[in-house]
Amino acid sequence: MYHAIVEQKVRQGFREMSKGNYQAAVELFAEDVYFSFSGDHAMGGECRTKAQVSQWFARLYRIFPGIQFEVRSVTVSGWPWNTTATTQFTVRATMRDGQPYQNQAMQFVRLRWGKIVEDIIFEDTHKLVLALNRMAEQGVSEAAAAPIGVLTA
């Protein structure tokens, strides 16, 4: 029963993010968190605080307004004091020039008592960097910004 509730919350979080309500997801993070998105690009970096995570999501929505998430699968294991959830999902957005952006991603989340304490996202960074470079050329200056938080190798 607990695992089904966590899966439902994960799916609901992605639905809210698809509506543009990323703050609903940010509220699930603990104050002291480890959030990682690999790469030396505008969406890369390591965040160590909930405030940095909020900055990361705000940037995501400025660069990719109208971004949509399609959850393919969610797997949950563990107990309330040490829960892991893995999510496979598709990301879709429309770039400024009208061209579609689509990518596949995996997310590993660790929760303690309902709060996210670790969130690691794996996305095809080559495809993402090509899109970011294209958007920077189209005048989306933040698409060329430095990563938020500590740079991930």
Q: Which residue has the tokens 């543009």?
A: 20
What torsion do the CA atoms of 94, 74, 5, 120 make, to the nearest 10 degrees? -70
Q: For the chain, how far is it from start to end, CA to CA, in angstroms?
A: 38
Identify the CATH assignment for 2-144 out of 3.50.50.60, 3.10.450.50, 3.40.640.10, 3.40.50.620. 3.10.450.50
- pLDDT tens by residue, the chain, 153 residues: 999 999 999 999 999 999 999 999 999 999 999 999 999 999 999 999 999 999 999 999 999 999 999 999 999 999 999 999 999 999 999 998 999 999 999 999 999 999 999 999 999 999 999 999 999 999 999 999 999 987 544
